Structure 1
């Protein structure tokens, strides 16, 4: 089943409002009917404990029907429970002393058993799921109505009848005349009722044996109702074989039957509340975890709430076209006829996630939608994180390309200066020196010699500055002697003593160049701002990363402000996928640590 985001509607929607109103009317009518029916039952001689038990059973079914209809408006189970409570009291009208009410109590009171069978066979949807199930429900209703018609003319034939009292009427006899025929009809109806009862009990037992652990927990009312159905079936069997039950034993039987039926509405109510609590647990999980909500965390929480460790959740992986769980394993979707169901979470017709669960959860679509909504949040969060990671990777790659392009441009500029302007200046210097040698020591040449000597000095100074500029653009010592040699060269130009600890290892050219500029900038900060008396520099490879450290004993308090040297170091290192940390307590010196990937 595919689940798209809901547009947002009230609980249950308009479709569930009509049945909910009917349930409300039936449940409300159960209150006065129960009071009147129990007064009739009292007229027939029922004691106070029996009356209280009877009232509790009927009203419990009505209350459970109201709650079930409110929590699951799309299900008919709430209506069936309310009708079960209403018809529960109709039987007691047999003690009213009024022919019409007694007749109504007989004809409609026996429908109570049929409604109970209908409820337990179709829980929790209240709808039959197959033709044999529908046929069984219709047959039970037909047997109940036929039994009511027959009972009108055979009332009082059993040894114990709770509604027969002094002065009570037996109602309107529709088929009076042939007592033997009606007795045989009664036994036939009871025989068919016994067969139907055994069939219903067998169906419930078969469902129990073939159900999953999750289904057994969530459908507890069905299993509790098996005992009730067995009791009702036993009642029909006694009628078939004309087994006389004396009054004390019959009273015990009625009490046990009432208590057994009393457990059913509370069990149904317990299932409804359990599903509601599960939905609340899912919502609470989303609120509690917030931004930390993850696929495996949601799966584990839902599995605990449902008591079903077989629950699976996965996100859609576009490349292989499959759903994958939190560990990256592909999820095998259930085949048709499997007892597990796969709910695909979609957006705009495209799959984004899947929720694989026991088929019994399909009976509570609100719970499935709640879990699907939480899973959709996980999927959207994962998608946004993937997009963000992709953008960050692209930014890092772009910064790395910019840095590499800048390094390449500096290398070209250094090469052009070395091969162009620097070579021409060297040639010019040699030409001036040669001209000076060719001039004689005559007084006339003295002024020329002085001018040429001055020009030579300026030329040598310009050449030295040009070489220093070329060295700053791209240090040739780095190319010739590696990072260790370049660090020693930097340390030699420092105004304070610098201890160097660097192995003569070679690293990728881009890594060495970045390391050189990081150390150069850090040492410049030491010389200009730290007020240090000494410094220490180290460079070493650790687990595929080049670790650089610069320490000084200066005043500390260094801060990476925008445009500062420290900010430039961080930008340069992060562009290569590295990291920088700075420890600079006031008065405690500064320690800079940079890590560059070099594997």
Structure 2
């Protein structure tokens, strides 16, 4: 409603301004140029007001467009309208000063800025009135940009003060020049202290400063060369008008640039990557947001607190705090966690600087400490936050899946060792005891006259021997006892002795994590079985050595090659097992060139 009403006011002001300008003798080209400047400001302001209703820049730009036409009222013969135009002719420059000093959010940033804006309006209100009280258009027809030989009359004119018009007008313009210089100084000060994002947002301000310089230049020309006219005057006016139009154009370009930034967010998840590092993620976000000062704080959960792995049912959404969530300074109110950047420092973001990123369950994930100017682009920040949330939650899910796989592998290996111990200490021990008892029986029946009894005892003893050997083989296949007692190198040596084909082993002595040793051992078991059954190899070499924090196990055969982990063979399951402990399996198996299987297992 307010935007529509403002649009109506702007159109009305433009219509009255064009009529008044025509009354002063302006031709069609002059009127078109004049309308283009005022309506460009008003139109850009309406667009800004519509898209950013909480931003005061839009209303200020509409005000600039409306006040642009006030000076034209001096071209009429209506006394009240002439007085209004003569008094408030410079109001658009005061509004422009206000716009420049508060861009891009439309709010004053300090006491000095507020005083400078008030001074600009005061000069127009007081100085403009004094000037109007002494201004006789018949005696000073060149004192305005209009051809005012037939303007007026001026109902505010004090006849006895007409002789003061020259000094008053000079002082009025001099004070306006001082305000312009102070405005430039203030903008330079803001620019020097601003971040990259804020500097990009301030670019239209520099266009406005260029406009102010054009006006100052034009005033100097008018003062130095009162009869300056013709093509030169038209050129200066044209440059001035073009510069004025450039401000709303620059603002619209700024809006377009932010929309292009939002388009870049679409590829943000891909750029963050499958395993985002804090430093890499911060660099990508800083580039997309155009803020080199941006800091990224990731949620660091205390051991007993709540976090992404221990969801808070009362957690809140973006930019909010849950029952156990962090406060505005980045620390959890219950002391259970905090936001930490890549250097381990606490990120204490608050107010317009902070954009909090929570998980889908409302638990804290991260916080962006950015330039406050970005708060004027809530859609962009929301899109970036969503991309960060997706990237972090994907990484968390992958970590959780990997941890689950590792726990499963460890549990399976623990179960293997338990079964091997149970078989060794239980079933095998009972069979051994049964054999010992049977041997005593055999000694007792050695002289038994019935040969069938002696044969039955011998047959039972042989069956128990076979059962014991099979049970030992089964226990060894589940988990070799030598691996638990002595380590990987002796276990591989024993495995080579039992292999169906010649195997040469070169294994460095040393102990590793039980899961690593078990994974390495069964990797060699699988490759030896494949070499004997599928590769038709004549010999195999096995090596196991430590390289830094990695255990490298290699098996090389001279078989037919052609092994492929994607065919669903035992190698594919082996690759999954190795990946579960953060290892890497690589297979090189050209047709007719043998097979090399290399497993790299972290052992740091």
Would the TM-score normalized by the shorter structure come out above 0.5?
yes
Q: Which residue of 1 aligns with 2:413?
A: 403
Gaps of 5+ in 1: 1-17, 440-444
Q: Offset at 1:389? A: 0.7
Q: Does 1:343 align with 2:354?
A: yes
Q: 1:374 aligns with which of 372, 378, 384?
A: 384
Equivalences for residues 92-131 of structure 1 within 5 A: 92-97=72-77, 99=79, 101-128=81-108, 130=111
Match of 2:551 among 530, 545, 549: 545
Q: C-alpha displacement at 1:367, in angstroms?
A: 2.2
**2:367 is the alignment partner of 1:354:** yes
The correspondence of residues 288-307 of structure 1 with structure 2, limited to 5 A, is: 288-293=267-272, 296=279, 299-301=282-284, 303-304=286-287
The structure 1 residue matched to 2:466, chosen from 452, 464, 467, is 464
Deviations 1:461-519 (A, max 9, x none): 42133133224303566578865555455455555x32322337354566555555444
Per-residue displacement from partner, 1:199-241 (whole Å, max 9, x unpaired)? Answer: 35324323313533545553244445446556767999999xx
Q: Give 2:62's aligned residue.
A: 82
Counterpart CA distance in 1 for 2:179 and 2:458 is 120
For the 8 Å contact 2:584–2:599, the answer to whether it is kept is yes
SS of structure 2 residue aligned to 1:323: strand
Q: Map residues 169-568 of structure 1 onto 2, 5 A cutoff.
A: 169-171=151-153, 173-175=155-157, 179-184=159-164, 187-188=167-168, 191=171, 194-195=174-175, 197-212=177-192, 214=196, 215-226=198-209, 229=212, 246-248=226-228, 256=236, 259-260=239-240, 262-281=242-261, 283-293=262-272, 296=279, 299-301=282-284, 303-304=286-287, 308-319=291-302, 321-325=337-341, 327-330=342-345, 333=348, 342-345=353-356, 347=358, 352-359=365-372, 361=373, 365-367=375-377, 369-433=379-443, 435-436=445-446, 438=447, 445=449, 448-474=450-476, 475=480, 486-487=491-492, 489-495=494-500, 497-503=501-507, 505-508=509-512, 512=517, 514-527=519-532, 529-530=533-534, 532=536, 534-543=538-547, 544-549=550-555, 551=557, 553=559, 566=571
Q: How far did 1:425 drift? A: 0.7
Q: Which has the higher contact order (CA 8 A, sep 6+)?
A: 1
Name the CA shift for 1:297/1:569 in 2 (closer, same or farther; >3 Å): closer
Separation (CA, whole Å) in 1 of partners of 2:137 and 2:495 = 116
Are the structure 2 counterparts of residues 249 and 356 from structure 1 closer, same or farther at C-alpha, using a change threshold of 3 Å?
farther
CA contact (8 A) 1:93 1:101 kept: yes
Structure 1 residues 330, 95: CA separation in 2 closer, same or farther (over 3 Å shift)?
A: same
Q: Indicate how the Cα distance of structure 1 residues 351 and 148 shifts in structure 2: closer, same or farther if over 3 A, else same.
A: farther
1: distance between equivalents of 2:249 and 2:465?
A: 96
Give the drift of 1:391. 4.2
Aligned length: 552
Question: Which structure: larger Rg?
Answer: 1
Maintained 8 Å contact 1:315/1:379? no
State how far apart, in whole Å, the 1-side matches of 2:570 and 2:156 are. 108
1:1-31 Cα deviation digits (max 9, x unpaired): xxxxxxxxxxxxxxxxx44223422343355
Cα distance change, pair 354–524 in 1 and its aligned pair in 2 (3 A)? closer
C-alpha distance in structure 2 between counterparts of 1:163 and 1:238, whole Å:
16
Once the two structures are TM-superposed, the CA of residue 378 in structure 1 deviates from its matched residue by 1.1
CA distance in 2, matches of 1:430, 1:267: 111
Partner of 1:4: none
Name the CA distance, whole Å, in 2 between partners of 1:38 and 1:90.
10
* Alpha-carbon separation, structure 1, partners of 2:202 and 2:2: 23
Q: Deviations over 1:110-160 (max 9, x none)?
A: 533443334334333445555524632541342265147425x52233363
For residues 567 and 206 of structure 1, do their structure 2 counterparts lie closer, same or farther at Cα, with a shift above 3 Å needed? closer
CA contact (8 A) 1:345 1:372 kept: no
SS of match in other structure, 2:292: coil
Equivalent residue, structure 1, for 2:323: none
The 8 Å contact of residues 506 and 542 in structure 2, kept in 1 or not, is answered as yes
Instruction: Say if 2:365 and 2:392, in contact at 8 Å, map to a contact too.
Output: no
Cα 1:596–1:39, aligned 2, differ >3 Å: closer, same or farther? closer
CA distance in 2, matches of 1:571, 1:352: 30
Cα 1:522–1:137 change in 2 (3 A) is same
CA distance, structure 2, for counterparts of residue 27 and residue 547 of structure 1: 80
Q: What SS does the corresponding residue of 1:195 show, helix, strand or coil? A: helix
Name the CA distance, whole Å, in 2 between partners of 1:223 and 1:574: 57
Contact 1:342–1:354 at 8 Å: present in 2 too? no
Contact persistence 2:489–2:508 (CA under 8 A): yes
In the TM superposition, what whole-angstrom CA distance separates every residue of 1:35-90 from its partner, at most 9, and x where no partner exists?
4344223x2xx567755654443344334334433443333333333343344334
Q: Distance in 2 between matches of 1:353 and 1:290?
A: 15
Q: Report the 3-state secondary structure (helix = DSSP H, G, I; strand = E; otherwise coil) of the residue aligned with 1:426.
A: helix
Quote the residue 1:10 is aligned against: none
Alignment of 1:23-172 (within 5 A): 23-29=6-12, 32-33=15-16, 35-41=18-24, 43=25, 46=26, 53-97=33-77, 99=79, 101-128=81-108, 130=111, 132-133=115-116, 135-143=118-126, 146-147=129-130, 149-150=132-133, 154-158=136-140, 160-161=142-143, 163=146, 168-171=150-153
Residues of 2 paired with 1:552 and 1:492: CA distance? 19
